[in-house]
Amino acid sequence: MQPFRGIGLKLASVICFVIMAALVKAASDEVPAGEAVFFRSFFALPIIFIWLAGRGEFRAGLRVKSPMGHLWRGLIGASAMFLNFMALALLPLPEATVIGYASPLLLVIFAAMFAGEDVRLFRFTAVFAGLIGVTIVLAPRMTVLHGAPDPKEQLGAMMALGGACLAAIVQLHVRNMVRTESTTSIVFWFSMSCTFAGLLTLFVTPWVMPSGKVLVFLILGGLIGGVAQVFLTSCYRYADASLLAPFDYASMIFALGIGYAVFGDVPTKPMLLGASIVIAAGIVIILRERALGVSAAKRKKADAL
């Protein structure tokens, strides 16, 4: 294990994902979300091809044992991406980022409901606190407590929350997929699925020919998204997931900086308060799961002696 290298790769992936989101947001005034999904996925493929070839895992990336598993992962994942890109078009970048943090909280609930995982009071309390934080962020967009909500921002908040729900479902699905499928095949076929799903939206929503600047944004978004995916997949080779998970929340720092510098997004007090609660709850859950994992490993070792 090389934990500092793993952390470096994790932070690099977080930065790349935020930059990708900013590029998609910058293009959103001109192109529909389905078209952005296509560019994001299609131009990530060359990066993934190079990565697989460099590791000598190109054939492994193509090999599947559960085609239906990949199909469902692709459909749900592409839908989550579509909703998130819609949210980026309608909300400030930091706000869309914070609402996305609901995903790991919802994953705990879904794991208990659908996978029969044992989730005790401590984690449920942390999840409940985190969802209160999400509610605080959503309140100005969904209620009249802060004046009449803007219909576009209201829709954006709903899209962001829907994307977080689907992302949690995808994570639960991937937990089952890794029992039979390699990580490389999951990464490769997800990009392929999203490419085709994005292309199919051409028959639902008319695409537009982007201007030169926006076309560059879309291509760069795909390439940087591919690099981000490679960094994210690679970081787990050098450090445990429980160690790396808290660094996901570093995206808030980058989203605030890029949102303010590029789009003039000034963070509101409800957004900052809600984000603080969500991040604190997420880190508590991560630390608790890590402690439980260590305890379980010690018990297993003791039983083997």
C-alpha distances out from residue 58 to 50, 181, 279, Å: 9, 14, 37
pLDDT at 296: 45
State yes or no: pLDDT of 87 exceeds 60.
yes
Better-predicted residue by pLDDT, 136 or 144: 136
Residue 134 has pLDDT above 80, yes or no: yes
Domain boundaries defined on the chain? 3-304
- The pLDDT-based confidence of 293 (bands split at 50, 70, 90) is low
What confidence score (pLDDT) does residue 236 get?
85
Mean predicted confidence (pLDDT) in 73-97: 95
Q: What is the mean pLDDT of residues 20-39?
A: 96
Mean pLDDT, residues 28-56 = 93
Question: For the chain, what is the mean pLDDT?
Answer: 88
What confidence tier does 292 reach under pLDDT thresholds 50, 70, 90?
low
In which band, very low, low, confident or very high, does the pLDDT at 116 lie, cut at 50, 70 and 90? confident
The pLDDT score that the predictor gives to residue 295 is 47
- Tell me the mean pLDDT in the region 135-152: 79
Task: Tell me what pLDDT residue 35 has.
Answer: 96
Q: What is the mean pLDDT of residues 20-31?
A: 96
pLDDT of res. 147 = 64
Give the percent of the chain with pLDDT over 70. 94
> What is the pLDDT averaged over residues 117-142?
88
- Give the mean model confidence (pLDDT) for residues 214-240: 93
pLDDT above 60 for 303: no
pLDDT tier at 302 (50, 70, 90 boundaries)? very low
Q: How far is CA 97 from CA 18, 100, 156, 223, 240, in A?
A: 9, 5, 12, 20, 24
Residue 305, pLDDT score: 35
Q: Report pLDDT for 141.
A: 81
Residue 219 predicted with pLDDT over 60: yes
Given a contact cutoff of 8 angstroms between Cβ atoms, the answer to whether 202 and 39 are in contact is: no
Answering whether pTM is above 0.85, one says yes
Residue 138 pLDDT > 70, yes or no? Answer: yes
> Which stretch of 236-245, 269-278, 285-294 has the lowest confidence by average pLDDT?
285-294
The pLDDT tens digits of the residues spanning 151-208 come to 898 999 999 999 999 999 999 998 888 888 888 888 899 999 999 999 999 988 889 9
